[in-house]
Amino acid sequence: MFQRTARHVPAYAEFLTEHGIDPSDVRTPEDFAAVPPTTKTDYLQRYRIDRLLWHGDITGAGTWSCSSGSSGHPTYWPRDMVALDEGAELYARILRHCFESPRRSTLLVIGFAMGNWIGGTYTYAAALALRRRGLPVSVIAPGIEPDTILENIERLGPHYEQVVLAGYPPFVKDVLDRAPETVLRHDIRLLLAGEAITERFRDHMLDRIGKTDRPTEICLVYGTADAGIMGHETPTTIAVRRAARTDAALGRELFGGDPIQPTFVEYDAGYRFTEVDPDGYFLFTSDSSIPLVRYRINDQGRILSADALSEALRAHGYRLPVRPSTETCGYLALHRRTDIAAAFYGLQIYPENVRAALEHADLADIVSGKFVLSVRSDEQFTQTLALRVELRTGVTPAPGFRDRLRQRVIAALDRTNGEYRRLHQTLGVAAEPDITMHDFGSAGFGPGIKHQWTDTRS
């Protein structure tokens, strides 16, 4: 993979030359580990997009998807038949391990945003590929339309042995919280992606679909637009994570004692060769329209082999079976994503999306320009986008200013973030931020330190 990319991808050949790397000198795993990592900033955004593809040929892209970047401008990602085949195989494993396919007829309801964004179209393409493999799967793609999703399940669900609802965790929760008994009486299973979930969240959703004793019927996928699917939950990973929730010693052994449980998934090195760099960041190497070599996406975590996982479980008195999907599979514990953004309903809200509002002429004399963006979850796991705004020193806003500030922020979010705009159209007021104003220099706005625009602890 490395040698092919060095020979046939113009941008990567130039990248290696700039870093003084002769591909012919890279012969061993140790040599490969010394190759400089690539990132979105210093590789993907640096070179012309056609030069990132095989042979510099733009027609190597079969399908384009995009995601909103930190500047509010979309970043485009191509996919080809290799990505489709990989996606189909990984979804087939999920259906087989967690959803009892191909023994049961399945209606897959796609609750990811459709259109340009990868989650919905990727899942839809994989579902059609599964049909071509002979799996008894039918698909309908309402996107992020809660009422349409519920109608789809109510009308079509009775004709299938099970319904798999796919979507971002907070959105799927909102859909099921409003679901009537005519929907909930079906055998519903959940395929989630876009952000991490806790085991408390899984318990809440299992209770909602009437399956408190069947945790494997909710499966989380770990993936991104640039690197695709990196891993997914299996009965093994779910059982291990739930055991570690109540066994602190096991949690320390497997996950390093982080107070926040990591996402724990199976990955296939045959699709995503994965390393961890000295700073704890994952590095992925994968064959795709834009081949990625030692690509860092700012996710931190650790890797466990199947043997290491089995040994740790035995050492702590567990007899849980460790059954990887293939001999090339291992396990990833994803501890955190370090990108500066707030994850709200599975999409990324960046500081730049808010800054555009605070710089408006009729606000700039009142606010300092500093703010903290976070996402809160209540006891029912309902998310709220929270924005703390710092006032200028000695300023007391006039009555009505908070409403004006709120409208400016909402307008800026709609204007600069296409994914948020679509979510706002769907959820209405529930997608709008809760804004509070704070005195200059108060907690979170102290002088003399690098300002933290987002608070991921919320």
The answer on 435 and 311 residing in a single domain is no
The answer on 178 and 144 residing in a single domain is yes
400, part of any domain: yes
| Each residue's pLDDT tens digit, 121-139 | 999 999 999 999 999 999 9
Name the DSSP letter for residue 32: H
The answer on 189 and 95 residing in a single domain is yes
Domain-ending residue, one of 342, 357, 390: 342
CA distance 209 to 189: 8
User: Does the pLDDT value for residue 72 go beyond 50?
Assistant: no
Tokens 């995009």 sit on residue: 66
Beta-ladder partners of 219: 191
Q: Give the domain CATH number at 208.
A: 3.40.50.12780
Beta-ladder partners of 142: none
Show the domain range for 349: 344-455
> Do residues 161 and 105 lie in contact, with contact meaning Cβ atoms separated by under 8 Å?
yes
Over range 153-166, report the average pLDDT.
98
User: Does the pLDDT value for residue 267 go beyond 90?
Assistant: yes
> Do residues 187 and 162 lie in contact, with contact meaning Cβ atoms separated by under 8 Å?
yes
- Work out how many domains the chain is built from and give that number: 2
- Distances 312 to 216, 309, 385 between C-alpha atoms, Å: 21, 5, 39
108, part of any domain: yes
End-to-end distance of the chain based on CA atoms, in angstroms? 41
| Res. 433 pLDDT band, cuts 50 70 90 | very high
pLDDT of residue 348: 84
Strand 38-39 relative to strand 63-68: parallel, antiparallel, unpaired?
unpaired
Treating both helix axes as pointing N-terminal to C-terminal, what angle do 169-177 and 199-208 enclose, rounded to 10 degrees? 30
Domain-ending residue, one of 342, 377, 396: 342
- Distances 363 to 118, 218, 354, 367 between C-alpha atoms, Å: 36, 45, 12, 6
pLDDT of residue 71: 40
Could you tell me if residue 113 is left (phi over 0), alpha (psi between -120 and 50 degrees) or otherwise beta? beta
CA distance 439 to 224: 38
pLDDT of residue 448: 44
| Res. 389 pLDDT band, cuts 50 70 90 | very high
Q: Give the domain CATH number at 426.
A: 3.30.300
> To the nearest whole percent, how much of the chain has pLDDT over 90?
69
Q: Quickly list DSSP for 347-404.
A: EEE-HHHHHHHHTSHHHHTTEEEEEEEEEEE-TT--EEEEEEEEEPTT--PPTTHHHH
pLDDT of residue 416: 85
The answer on 338 and 350 residing in a single domain is no
pLDDT of residue 38: 97
308, part of any domain: yes
Over range 23-52, report the average pLDDT.
95
The answer on 355 and 309 residing in a single domain is no
144 versus 186: the higher-pLDDT residue is: 186
pTM to 2 decimal places = 0.81
